[in-house]
């Protein structure tokens, strides 16, 4: 078994140089993978564009058409934080489809786990609007694809981006087939993600928020993993694990105030691998979300990827 990597140079076409979520985020990561000679150990998984039907599994048709029209007109802003260019609609389809290609490869057993280095990110995108740098919700679309196209019944999404994934939460808020778990700084953008937001209807108890104060470090996260997340995840018994892998919790990130280092992201990955090994044959698809310090970001991704690789090789 192997670890897969999803990347395409077209992900760089969605770009606004003065914006923190710009193409340099991926170029610095890819340079680091080349320098550390890690790519030779990875299986390249070519992305594809998601179909409109696949996007519609999460997003409203009117919103999809709005993004398409805006990009056909040359681009513009979906909100104060979220830009588009002429290429952004097609790039966003390729980002979502890249994650779907990773899910398919993992479910079919071509790789055991995979990292999708895609952008724009996704976890803030609501069914009817983009926000927080996000256009389409890559992780949510991937969860629906795993269920609808591959027959999986239970999907676990672990989101350790420093910002609460309001979009992902809202997609699955009444759905007991997806366990959504978010670690995030609070108070912080977008202002959602309290411990009281536990889901509703049949989904009550399947939405878990862990808001943490600024300055929290790795041990604060690990305590939650061991005391709460791992027991709940094992009880839930997922058939695949998705990670919304944001690295903006790093202490050097300009958009947050946490005290995490790259070694902490490796530990979080190790524990997630443990969950996947015990429940779903190690099936993990990790999806890039935030991370805006161009020196810290590649170090975090390398630590995360090495953990996916090394834990697999140890078995």
pLDDT in tens, 243-301: 999 999 999 999 999 999 999 999 999 999 999 999 999 999 999 999 999 999 999 99
Mean pLDDT across the stretch 191-208?
Answer: 98
Alpha carbons 136 and 126: distance in angstroms, whole number:
8
Active site residues: 124
pLDDT level of residue 310 (50, 70, 90 thresholds): confident
pLDDT level of residue 313 (50, 70, 90 thresholds): low
Contact predicate 83/16, CB 8 Å: yes
Full residue range of the structural domain in which residue 94 is found: 3-314
Pairing of strands 83-85, 75-77: antiparallel
- Per the structure, the count of domains in the chain is 1
List alpha helices for the chain, DSSP H. Answer: 24-35, 52-56, 61-72, 88-107, 138-150, 166-171, 218-224, 230-236, 262-279, 296-314
Over the stretch 13-32, which tens digit does the pLDDT of each residue have?
999 999 999 999 999 999 99
CB atoms within 10 A of CB 210: 22
Buried b (16+ CB within 10 A) or exposed e, 258-282: bebbbebbbbbbebbbbbbbebbeb
Over the stretch 123-147, which tens digit does the pLDDT of each residue have?
999 999 999 999 999 999 999 999 9
Mean pLDDT across the stretch 152-168?
Answer: 98
pLDDT level of residue 312 (50, 70, 90 thresholds): low
List alpha helices for 8-51, DSSP H. Answer: 24-35
Residue 293: CATH number of its domain: 3.40.800.20
């Amino acid at each position: 078994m192997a670890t897969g990597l999803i990347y395409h140079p077209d992900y760089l076409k969605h770009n606004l140089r003065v914006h923190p979520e710009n193409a340099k985020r991926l170029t610095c990561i890819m340079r680091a993978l080349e320098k550390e000679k890690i790519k030779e150990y990875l299986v390249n998984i070519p992305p594809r564009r998601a179909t409109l039907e696949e996007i519609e599994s999460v997003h409203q048709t009117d919103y999809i058409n709005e993004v398409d029209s805006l990009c056909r007109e040359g681009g513009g802003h979906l909100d104060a934080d979220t830009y588009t260019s002429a290429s952004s609609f097609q790039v966003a389809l390729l980002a979502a489809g890249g994650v779907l290609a990773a899910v398919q490869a993992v479910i079919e057993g071509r790789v055991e786990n995979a990292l999708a280095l895609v952008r724009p990110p996704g976890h803030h995108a609501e069914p009817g609007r983009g926000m927080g740098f996000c256009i389409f919700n890559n992780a949510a679309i991937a969860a629906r694809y795993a269920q609808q196209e591959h027959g999986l019944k239970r999907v676990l999404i672990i989101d350790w981006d420093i910002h609460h994934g309001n979009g992902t939460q809202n997609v699955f808020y009444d759905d007991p087939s997806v366990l959504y778990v978010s670690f995030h700084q609070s108070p912080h953008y977008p202002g959602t993600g309290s411990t009281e937001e536990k889901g509703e209807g049949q989904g009550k108890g399947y939405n878990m928020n862990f808001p943490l104060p600024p300055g929290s470090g790795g041990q604060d996260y690990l305590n939650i993993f061991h005391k709460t997340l791992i027991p709940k995840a094992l009880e839930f018994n997922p058939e695949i694990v998705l990670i919304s892998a944001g690295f903006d919790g790093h202490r050097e990130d300009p958009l947050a105030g946490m005290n995490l280092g790259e070694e902490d992201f490796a530990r979080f990955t190790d524990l997630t691998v443990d969950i996947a090994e015990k429940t779903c044959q190690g099936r993990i698809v990790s999806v890039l979300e935030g991370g805006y310090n161009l020196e810290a970001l590649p170090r975090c991704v390398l630590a995360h990827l090495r953990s996916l690789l090394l834990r697999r090789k140890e078995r």
